[in-house]
């Protein structure tokens, strides 16, 4: 009787403790599922016709959250699927949804499996690179099947570009085009203060101590989201400071600007949710942001194997992007087959937030296969990396 009672009690105790912890976390971080939903709605204010969906992807009831906007004029049943970067969410694309729906396809923006308003299954943190990559790729494929999409155009930003490329390598038959906006993880690790101890020793002691501390936290899988959750009210202020300093603002006429407060609240609610997919940071990247399994060589090898069955690829980078556009150019040069690299002027890494009008023009140009009738003078707004912006 005793062992049976304890067997019943222990799971019950853990369940109660889990619920209690969620209440404490919610109060400490001033966050909840409802507040995240409200923050998403605030981001989408002014976007007409967008519909939220929670698509069940497995027998355990796990879901992928998505935002869908029907095409203005349907020309293809294959949707444009937007995959956000690290720390962002489906509503991060709010400045682009309406414009991109002019490409003749439905536009669908998803929350990563295990983040945002998607459910959080167990993440294979100790499973190695292959298991962590499979966590995302296979769940995106399960989502595609559940939605009934035969093919789709994938537009992935930063880490979302990494996952989009992996998906295209695994399921090329379901990818019509692949657009990689400032993708992480293309190149091999380079020597520098973050990777070479001898060079790090030359840094001023304060900076060296900071680098050493961040590296220690990185190796322990301590994420920015974990820091925000731990700091509680101070974490919220930290996110607001980050937004003010990180996101540039374009003054181009016609740009639909998002208020800093809406972005900050949305990001805070995203960061304050229980951790799951965010653990990809230390699982897939070494300290310094270099991929443990660099994507560029794998992408080239796989696309060479696929030959004509490989989807066409385009790279987009911000003019002031901290991601190295030359890595994209190297891959494009090696691929040939009309692979292109474009620089989106007036923006940094978060190009679709910082200068959505120019980003949208560039993306539509790619989606329309460079049709000159789409946006007259488009090349005055964004430039070809090869012709317009020398890369070393």
pLDDT at 337: 76
pLDDT at 369: 79
pTM above 0.85, yes or no: yes
3-state DSSP of the chain:
CHHHHHHHHHHHHHHHHHHHHHHHHHHHHCCCHHHHHHHHHHHCCCCCCCEEEEEECCCCCCEEEEEEECCCCCCCCCCEEEECCCCCCHHHHCCCHHHHHHHCCCEEEECCCCCCCCCCCCCCCCCHHHHHHHHHHHHHHHHHHHHCCCCEEEEEECHHHHHHHHHHHHCHHHEEEEEEECCCCCCCCCCCCCCCHHHHCCCCHHHHHHHHHHHHHHHCCCCHHHHHHHHCHHHHHHHHHHHHHHCCCCCCCCCCCCCHHHHHHHHHHHHHCCCCHHHHHHHHECCCCCECCCHHHHHHHHHHHHHHHCCCEEEEEECCCCCCHHHHHHHHHHHCCCCEEEEECCCCCCHHHHCHHHHHHHHHHHHCCCCCCCCCCHHHCEEEHHHHCCCC
Q: Mean pLDDT by 10-residue block, N- to C-terminus, for the chain (392 residues)? A: 49 62 77 95 94 97 97 88 97 95 95 97 94 98 98 98 98 98 93 79 87 88 93 91 71 49 94 95 92 97 95 94 93 88 91 91 88 40 50 36
pLDDT at 384: 58
pLDDT at 368: 86
pLDDT at 229: 94
């Amino acid at each position: 009787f005793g062992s049976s009672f304890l067997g019943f009690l222990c799971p019950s105790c853990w369940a109660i403790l889990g619920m209690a912890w969620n209440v404490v976390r919610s109060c400490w971080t001033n966050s909840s599922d409802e507040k995240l939903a409200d923050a998403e709605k605030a981001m989408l204010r002014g976007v007409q016709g967008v519909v939220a969906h929670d698509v069940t992807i497995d027998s355990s009831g796990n879901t992928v959250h998505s935002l869908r906007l029907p095409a203005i004029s349907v020309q293809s049943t294959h949707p444009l699927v937007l995959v956000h970067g690290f720390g962002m969410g489906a509503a991060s694309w709010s400045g682009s949804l309406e414009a991109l729906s002019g490409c003749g396809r439905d536009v669908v923006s998803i929350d990563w499996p295990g983040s945002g308003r998607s459910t959080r299954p167990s993440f294979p943190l100790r499973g190695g690179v292959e298991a962590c990559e499979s966590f995302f790729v296979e769940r995106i494929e399960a989502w595609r099947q559940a939605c009934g999409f035969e093919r789709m155009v994938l537009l992935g930003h930063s880490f979302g570009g990494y996952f989009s490329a992996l998906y295209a390598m695994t399921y090329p038959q379901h990818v019509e085009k692949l657009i990689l906006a400032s993708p992480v993880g293309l190149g091999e690790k380079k020597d520098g203060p973050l990777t070479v101890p001898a060079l790090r020793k030359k840094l001023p002691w304060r900076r060296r101590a900071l680098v050493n501390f961040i590296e220690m936290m990185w190796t322990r899988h301590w994420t920015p989201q974990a820091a925000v959750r731990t700091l509680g009210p101070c974490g919220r202020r930290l996110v607001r400071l980050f937004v003010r300093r990180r996101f540039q603002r374009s003054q181009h006429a016609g740009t639909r600007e998002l208020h800093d407060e809406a972005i900050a609240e949305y990001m805070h609610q995203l960061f304050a949710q229980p951790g799951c997919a965010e653990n990809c940071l230390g699982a897939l990247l070494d300290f310094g942001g270099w991929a443990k399994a660099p994507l560029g060589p794998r992408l080239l090898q796989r696309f060479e194997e696929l030959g004509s069955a490989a989807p066409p690829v385009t790279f987009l980078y911000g003019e002031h992007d901290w991601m190295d556009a030359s890595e994209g150019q190297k891959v494009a040069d090696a691929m040939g087959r009309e692979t292109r690299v474009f620089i989106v002027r007036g923006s940094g890494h978060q190009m679709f937030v910082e200068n959505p009008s120019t980003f949208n023009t560039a993306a539509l140009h790619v989606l329309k296969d460079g049709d000159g009738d789409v946006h007259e003078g488009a090349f005055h707004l964004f430039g070809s990396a090869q012709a317009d912006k020398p890369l070393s």
